[in-house]
Amino acid sequence: MYRFSFYPYRRQFCQPLRTHHGAWNTREGIILKLTDKAGNIGLGEIAPLPWFGSETIEQAIKLCHQLPKQIDETKIFAIPNRFPASQFAFESALSSVTENSHSKTRLKTLLNTFPNSQLLPTGKAVLSLFDFQKKELESRFDEKQTFKWKIGVTDIKTELQWFDRLLQLLPPHAKLRLDANGGLTWETANRWLAACEGKSIEFLEQPLPIDRFDEMLKLQERYTTSIALDESVATLAQMETCIDRGWRGLFVVKASIVGSPAQLRQLCKTHHLDTVFSSVFETRIGRESALKLAAELQRVPRAVGFGIEHWFAEDDETVLRQIW
């Protein structure tokens, strides 16, 4: 039996994060705390992403209110699948009770296990970043750094011009990931993939909307650049569907919203999935739980998508201090 308490938080982005889903201003989440009889504490974080199919923050708060203040494993494993972010958070908190080890040093160690992919500003802003801050960038990132750039936010002709310019500005051995967030069409996806041929592009993420699965299978066969599914595989049920329908490419795993870690573990191991773990802009509490899973389940050495701290006005500690 554990004593259960929870702490909702709100956190402002320095500037709205622009993707094909629109502009995102505030990250809202909930920190969970489980305390056992001996006083050991386990922390978890609910960091919903409703436009990826998770519950909303309001639904998660309601769930937390409904759950008993004294909670056991049975209640935790009975959280329904329509609350994937909550399933992840409660199970993570549960497994961290015994470890009793949420700390900055622990997270640093985990982060150092992986190279980190750095999210670049969306659209044309990326070019001025590289022009004006080149010196700073060179000191901040090593030359084999992986970067990620959101595409599908303006007309393709303009974007392909920015893309060419960006490739010239990137450090010589840098790798680039492109993320369309489902914002391309069959025609523009083909143009993008043709433009990627022979370039150092690690993969193109979610070129088409989730209902265009068969076309993404075709794109995967047609070009040498790999395709990674993201929006299409946001939850465990969706991952299973895509495996059944023949997807053998990459899976972006947003651990914080995917659902039960125990079930994720089983799915990844059974099907030997090639995964790349990615953040949903959670605090270090959720990030640590997600990275622990990444360390266990990411089969091919790849940068993880957790290079996010500089996107917020306040750092993790400021957010967490307000909670305790």
Name the active-site residue from 33, 150, 175, 292. 150
- Which range of residues in 150-158, 172-180, 192-200, 308-316 is near Mg ion by CB under 5 A? 172-180
Strands 116-119 and 304-307 turn out to be: parallel
Which string of x and - marks every residue 110-129 that binds Mg ion (by CB under 5 A)?
--------------------
Tally DSSP H helices, then E strands, for the chain. Answer: 14, 12
141 CB-near residues (< 8 Å, 6+ apart): 118, 171, 174
Closest CA to 149 of 124, 172, 186: 124
Strands (E), the chain: 2-19, 22-35, 41-46, 70-71, 116-119, 146-150, 175-179, 201-205, 226-229, 250-253, 275-277, 304-307
What tokens were used for 193?
Answer: 């993939």
For Mg ion, the closer of residues 92 and 117 by Cβ is 117
Closest CA to 306 of 236, 231, 255: 255
Measure the CA–CA gap between 72 and 63, rounded to whole angstroms: 15
For Mg ion, the closer of residues 55 and 179 by Cβ is 179
Q: How far is the CB of 209 from Mg ion (least distance, A)?
A: 13
Whether 150 is catalytic: yes
Name the active-site residue from 33, 148, 175, 254. 254
Q: How far is the CB of 252 from Mg ion (least distance, A)?
A: 6
Binding-site size for Mg ion (CB under 5 A) equals 3
For Mg ion, the closer of residues 60 and 204 by Cβ is 204
The amino acid at residue 253 is V
Q: What crossing angle do the helices spanning 104-113 and 284-297 adopt, rounded to 10°?
A: 40
Q: How far is the CB of 206 from Mg ion (least distance, A)?
A: 6
Check binding of 179 to Mg ion (CB under 5 A): yes
For Mg ion, the closer of residues 90 and 247 by Cβ is 247
Which string of x and - marks every residue 194-233 that binds Mg ion (by CB under 5 A)?
-----------x------------------------x---
Whether 69 is catalytic: no
For Mg ion, the closer of residues 159 and 179 by Cβ is 179
- Which range of residues in 59-67, 171-179, 193-201, 258-266 is near Mg ion by CB under 5 A? 171-179
Q: Which sequence positions are flagged as catalytic? A: 150, 254
Q: What is the binding site for Mg ion (CB under 5 A)?
A: 179, 205, 230
